[in-house]
Structure formats: structure tokens, C-alpha cells
Amino acid sequence: MTTNGLLIAVPADTRQFESYLWHAAPSTYLDALARIGALPVIVPALDGVDLDPALDRVDGVLLTGSASNVHPERYGEAPTPGHEPYDTRRDALTARLIEGALSRGLPLLAICRGHQELNVALGGSLGTEIQEIEGRMDHRAPVHPEQDQRFALRHPVRLTNGGRLATLLGTDEVEVNSLHRQAVRDLAPRLSVEASAPDGTVEAVSVRDAPGFAFGVQWHPEYWSGSDGPSKRLFEAFADACRAYRDLKA
């Protein structure tokens, strides 16, 4: 697939495999970026590396989901088994990517863990094992060997009337998938709620003072961005914002 010249920074997760520490990103996000004609640039989660040269060159930042969770010490809580597993190298990397993207006005799309990272980076907190809270749905992935079933669209989310995301998607409700145990608890002061689940779980946010595209979504639009209308529109809007940023920078 050819690209349209867009370069999108994607943070690496770290994993131990075959006696090595690997820095990698899931293919579903990379494939979704390729569909919009962008080249993903995986940023390794290395300590002490200057990210400015990379952020000065890319046209957008995509924060992916992950099996790991943001370490609770980043939002002032003691760790428990319910907060695990962790990837503290990724925590450090994405905090810097968020700061760098927002300070530059780089388009930012934060998905699942990325959505939670965005909230924490801007001063919010997370709740864990939310399925145990009275009145909450079970937002965890269904146990199934097939990925299409795990990522199946499962419940509606209501978009905030007159909000940025509702305007962007041209609808007031979308059907989403759900694969998380944690969720936004205290919303960061710089964020606005853009969508909520029927049980009140914050499903999407935007950065109030961002000059352009800066959204977080709790669901996984990348998985169905080739076939689901709202998922495709979200990624196309991200691509449009990245092209506009590139052209303005040029």
C-alpha cells in the first residue's frame, strides 16, 4: 500500500521474549494507519532519548491500546494486583509523547490504554476492575479464541450533544467494542467528555485547549476501521488533521 507522505508516531510496548526485551506495537493499529495512507513510525520506549527530533518530523501521534495498565503511582495511588500488569517504560514514553504532541498542536488520537494515559498525563485518575462497581457493565473482552469475536461491537455509546466528536462523526450514537477493566475515574481538568456508555463510563474525551484534533476513545476503532462506518470516519478525520498539520508546517 502506498502512503500519502504522512508519518505517524506510535509508542512501543515492551515485552520479554526469547531472552530479549522487545519494543513493538500491535499490527491492528499499524494496519489501520496504512489504510489511511500513513506510515507508522514505532518509537522505542528507551530511557533518556530526546523525542523532539522525531516529534518535529511526524505529522501525528497515535497512542495504542495494550494489555498493560498505567502504573497507579502516576495518579497518586498505591499499586495492587487489580492494577496489574504494568509497562513502566511505556508509561514514561507516552507521557512525553502526549506533552510533545499537545505543545506542538500535533494531531493526537489516543485509543484504550492511550485514552487512559491521556487522562492521567493531564492530571486525571483511573478506576480499576470497574465491572465490580455497582451499576457498571462488564467492559472486559469476552473470552473467545477468535479475535473478531473479542473485538465485536457490543454496546452503544452516546456522544455529547454538540461536542467535537459528535460533529466529526455526524451522529449522536455509535456502537463500540469493549475490552478494558480500567476506565476514567476523575476526569483531567483539560479534558471534555465526548461520549459515555449507558452505565456512565467515560468512553471518549477531547483536549479542551488543543488547537486541533486531540481525542481519546476507550474503544477500539482501529480493529474495524476498514469496514465500520464510524471507525473509518474517525481514522479518516485523523488523517485529514495530520495532512492539514503537515501542510501548515511546510
Please pick, among 71, 115, 180, 220, the residue that the annotation labels catalytic. 220
User: What number of other Cβ atoms are within 10 A of residue 144's Cβ?
Assistant: 11
CB 214 within 8 A of CB 146: no
Q: For residues 64 and 44, what is the distance between their CA atoms, to the nearest angstrom?
A: 13
* Known catalytic residue at 134: no
The three cell numbers of residue 155 are 454496546
Question: Cα 209 to chain center, whole Å?
Answer: 18
pLDDT above 70 (res 4): no
Q: For residues 75 and 24, what is the distance between their CA atoms, to the nearest angstrom?
A: 25
* Known catalytic residue at 222: yes
Shortest CA distance to 128 belongs to which of 143, 140, 111? Answer: 140
- What mean pLDDT comes out for the span 80-104? 97
pLDDT of the residue at 165: 98
Please pick, among 23, 139, 222, 242, the residue that the annotation labels catalytic. 222
Q: For residues 63 and 216, what is the distance between their CA atoms, to the nearest angstrom?
A: 9
- The reply to whether the predicted model has a pTM over 0.85 is yes
pLDDT digits (tens, 9 = 90+) for 31-83: 999 999 999 999 999 999 999 999 999 999 999 999 999 999 999 999 999 99
The three cell numbers of residue 110 are 489516543
The conformation of residue 19, written as its DSSP 8-state character, comes to T
* Known catalytic residue at 220: yes
pLDDT above 70 (res 6): yes
pLDDT of the residue at 141: 94
pLDDT above 60 (res 1): no
Please pick, among 23, 112, 117, 194, the residue that the annotation labels catalytic. 112
CB 83 within 8 A of CB 72: yes
| Domains assigned to the chain | 6-249 (3.40.50.880)
pLDDT of the residue at 2: 47
CB 32 within 8 A of CB 66: no
Mean pLDDT of the chain: 96
pLDDT of the residue at 250: 86
Question: 32: alpha, beta or left, given left = phi > 0 and alpha = psi -120 to 50?
Answer: alpha
- What mean pLDDT comes out for the span 208-232? 97
Nearby residues of 57 by Cβ (< 8 Å), 6 or more positions away:
7
